Structure 1
């Protein structure tokens, strides 16, 4: 899996991954509230 290789080559702290996911979810909810409700 390309993602697995990338993570192994560039170790990212779990808190940074969670931080990025939260930021992405927040941006998605702000930019596409209707789509978020539908999904």
Structure 2
């Protein structure tokens, strides 16, 4: 199902964040950085 829909998700994505080999905290920070939000 993911492969069938991948192009749809990519078309509407604001950002794409790689998750392989990253901790949840690293993924969260990368997502925040991608949308230009910073920690308080």
Between Structure 1 and Structure 2, which shows a larger proportion of helix residues?
A: 1
TM-score range for the pair, normalised by the shorter chain length: 0.3 to 0.5
**Normalized against structure 2, the TM-score is what?**
0.38
**Normalized against structure 1, the TM-score is what?**
0.39
Q: Greater RCO between the two (CA within 8 Å, min separation 6)?
A: 2
